[in-house]
Chains A and B, each alone.
Chain A
Amino acid sequence: MSIIDKALAKGQKTLSEYESKLFLSSYGIPVTREILVTSLDEAIKAAAAIGFPVVLKGSSPDITHKTELNLVALNLKNKQDVAEACARIIGIAERVDILVQEMVGGERELAAGLIRNQQFGPCVMLGLGGIIAEALADVAFRVAPLSARDALDIQNDFKGSKILAPFRGKKEVNRQALVNILQAIGEIGLKEERIKEIDLNPVKITDEGNPVVVDALIALNSL
């Protein structure tokens, strides 16, 4: 059974972050390295395997807004940090799994996504990301499928697109890597009708210029 089949069978309306990223990876979209664990011991082992610093996130299909619930702990530098954060997250939410994730550096944040438009069908979004993404509404859309040119053009089609160029000593974004991500989102939109919407925010641009999906939410159409 696929990730989507399983989630729908369980009555989920969304895929968890972990499930979302597994699914995105299957389309070649670069996501954070991460391990889903259920205990403190496992969390410490996972952190060591991924390499410090790490991020811990409380994970459950019921929870779509982790930051608001204080279920995210960033930049954990050692075992002790991980242990404390783990105890705190378990204390806030019951029956929650722990997602141990690599801490991706870089200050540039994009948002990407998929929506379904009544007239045009699946459309891919790209724009400024981070917590103020919605307030800025600095985004552009293209109708799927995206040609390579569409996926390049959209990279210059929002006001903040300058951050994709060499920016304050950071390298230019790997344009082709971003093209691949945007085309993959469009392909998902055309192939997977059970997916209603996708939110990738933030997609961080590392200082070396590589885009990495740091948080992801896939909303499903219940059939």
Chain B
Amino acid sequence: MNPLHEILHPKSIVYLGGSNSLTTPGTPQLINILASGFTGEVFPIHLKEETVLGLRAYRSVLELPYPADLAILVIPAGAVPPVLRECGQKGIKRAVIVTAGFSEVGDKSLENEIQNTAGEFGIRFIGPNCLGVNNPYNNFNCTWFPYHYKKGHFSLVSQSGSYSAHINHYLENNGIAVRCAISVGNQTSIDTVDCLEYLKDDAYTKVIGLYLEGVKDGRRFLEVARQVSLQKPIVALYVGGTETGARSGSSHTAALSAPDEIYNGAFKQAGIIRAYSVEEMLDFCLAFANQPLPKGNRVAVLTNSGGPATSMADTCDREGLEIPVFSDELQRKIQPFLLATATGKNPVDLTMTLDTRPLMVDIPRFVYEFKEADAILFYGLFGTRHASEKVEAMKGLIDFPTPVEKMEIYIDGLCDSLIKFTSETGLPVLGSSFWGRNDRPVAYLQDRGIPMYISPERAARSLAAMWRYRQWLNANISDS
């Protein structure tokens, strides 16, 4: 079995570095494991305490009743080599070494020592200098920060600890559900490429997000990434600047070879979709994790507000997506749903209307039946919140024509119809609303696989990323 699989799915853990004090560096992570609902056995090691956080403590790894599936080390760097040796002696083969203070601060010899010890006992580990892993499928989160959202299909491999865990709240607020997150740290035993190899065959993973500051072996990275891209997309945020490349060379070519340009080329060869900010990486992953790829670049833009739809169309245009003018026949179908002032050309603008049924139910069907678009972008979903706020403000003076609960049920039905539409037709649907998850339909759709973005351009850019990947796939599957 892949060592990473075992690290993500332990049934028992030995934890080194937790105590009964919140100020001990390892305690918050141990709390997070316990609070995340981990159902396996947890064995804290402590030299003095009888119990740690209510669990029976052991004096050393060697005293455990049986070898745990995984050791987690949050102890001073100097203590790591002997403890890792004890793990080996006990028969523990997998570890997460959170501890910092190795090659990243120039201590290569200490890192070599743990690498050798691991080699001697057949131990494979994540880190050192990492923030651990999060796997909702095993209720196992040994990072610092809780993850409350549902199980998903987005896997994150990060060379930054922060990006693997600090973002958990952001993920939840944007409906981005995680398969797993891995903070690779110094990559001494398990590196970024090992993670890609594992996730390529992981059935739960539909998209891999990569935060990359550099690669150790560029050619192996390329080879593996290309194999992964043939199966599922990789979205990479590459943040250069730590590599000097060949800039010191003597030729003009060398002077032009900024690492960023080299990575651009390498990513294109490997089918990796590049993102230029962490927010963009997560936007793209949200789309890939939930929606089918577009088969072409024609987009229908449906809206009940002009400006945001124009923004979507503008972004599409710059990103290589087309907004075709609908045929007269299709426009005739759409027209009855529109006010006299509105247009059915594409973008289709309902203008201000409280009933979004045409936008979410009728018009997508027509677009599909007439085969005039390969994807749907929509904007302007309004839930009941804006209405109920007004009723609340004018309490006693005004009533809403329909009870709010009834309206919610009606709108949920519209959402269900749109969700069914995308699964039945295979047409990707991405939406945008400036209301976040505090407006019921946004959360409802996000939770059921329709990506909802806070701005119209972000929805359009995410669709464009899907189209870029689709094109790469088309070209490279026929080559291979």
Contacts and interface: CB of A to CB of B under 8 A. Distances in A.
Contacts of B250: 13, 196-197, 219
A134 B252 contact: yes
Interface residues of B, number: 32
Given A119-B217, A140-B261, A143-B269, 14 more contacts: A117-B218, A117-B245, A117-B257, A118-B244, A118-B245, A118-B246, A120-B222, A125-B256, A141-B257, A142-B265, A143-B222, A150-B269, A154-B265, A157-B265
B404 interface: no
Contacts of A198: 251, 253
6 contacts: A13-B250, A113-B253, A120-B219, A134-B256, A141-B261, A142-B265
A116 interface: yes
A196 B256 contact: no
Interface in A160-191: none
A62 B215 CA distance: 37
Contacts of A116: 246
Interface of A: 13, 111, 113-121, 123, 125, 127, 133-134, 137, 139-143, 147, 149-150, 153-154, 157, 196-199, 201, 217, 219
A120 B253 contact: no
B257 A125 contact: yes
B262 interface: yes
B198 to A, nearest CB: 22
A133 to B, nearest CB: 7
Contacts of A114: 253
A197 B254 contact: yes
Contacts of B244: 118
Contact of B256 (A139, A154, A157): A139
A115 B265 contact: no
Q: Name the prevailing secondary structure of the A interface residues.
A: strand
B265 A113 contact: no
Nearest to A127: B256
Contacts, number: 103
Given A117-B245, A118-B245, A143-B219, A123 B265 contact: yes
Contact of A115 (B214, B215, B246): B246
Interface in B200-257: 214-219, 221-222, 243-246, 249-257
Contact of A199 (B218, B219, B251, B479): B251
Top 10 A-B pairs, shortest CB-CB distance? A113-B253, A120-B218, A119-B218, A141-B265, A197-B251, A115-B257, A199-B251, A115-B246, A142-B265, A115-B254
Contacts of B215: 119
A14 to B, nearest CB: 8
Contacts of B216: 119
B368 to A, nearest CB: 32
A214 B32 CA distance: 65
Contacts of B221: 119
Contacts of B269: 142-143, 147, 150
Given A117-B262, A141-B261, A111 B252 contact: yes
